[in-house]
Amino acid sequence: MLTLASDIETLARFGRALADPIRCRLLLALREAPAHPADLAERLGVSRTRLSNHLACLRDCGLVVAVPVGRRSRYELADPRLARALDDLRAAVVAVAADATCPDADDKGCC
């Protein structure tokens, strides 16, 4: 059963998803158009197994959905507004000191 996440939970899930460069690239690729995992793996230059793990994380975070197409699944953003959110985040200017690192940089956990 699907439930709606609270504002804070939604932001935390989005942040978790964006914490990994491959998941960022994956979200940006799906922002452009829905795609099958094999095509995404080739486009991003990662193994299908690795891509599958990242897609599972993004599904668990509620950001992407798998749409059955025959015997295959196509992935797409769970909500079209996520594309606009990604555009807004990409356009945002952040102030970061040259020697600053994120305190959670070593945390590779998923949603």
* Whole-number pLDDT of residue 14: 86
- The b-or-e profile of 86-103 (16+ CB within 10 A means b, else e) is beeeeeeeeeeeeeeeee
Instruction: Tell me the Ramachandran region of residue 39: left when phi exceeds 0, alpha when psi lies from -120 to 50, beta otherwise.
Output: alpha
Q: Is residue 27 a contact partner of residue 58, using CB atoms and an 8 Å limit? A: yes
Look up the CATH architecture of domain 7-91.
Answer: Orthogonal Bundle (1.10)
Q: What is the pLDDT of residues 7-36, one digit of tens each?
A: 888 888 888 899 999 999 999 999 999 999
Q: What is the pLDDT of residues 47-75, one digit of tens each?
A: 999 999 999 999 998 999 999 999 999 99
Give the ranges where 33-80 is alpha helix by DSSP (H).
37-44, 48-61
Q: What is the pLDDT of residues 39-52, one digit of tens each?
A: 999 999 999 999 99
Q: pTM for the complete prediction?
A: 0.79
Domain chopping of the chain, boundaries: 7-91
Q: Kindly state the percentage of the chain with pLDDT values over 70.
A: 83
Q: Is residue 64 a contact partner of residue 78, using CB atoms and an 8 Å limit? A: yes
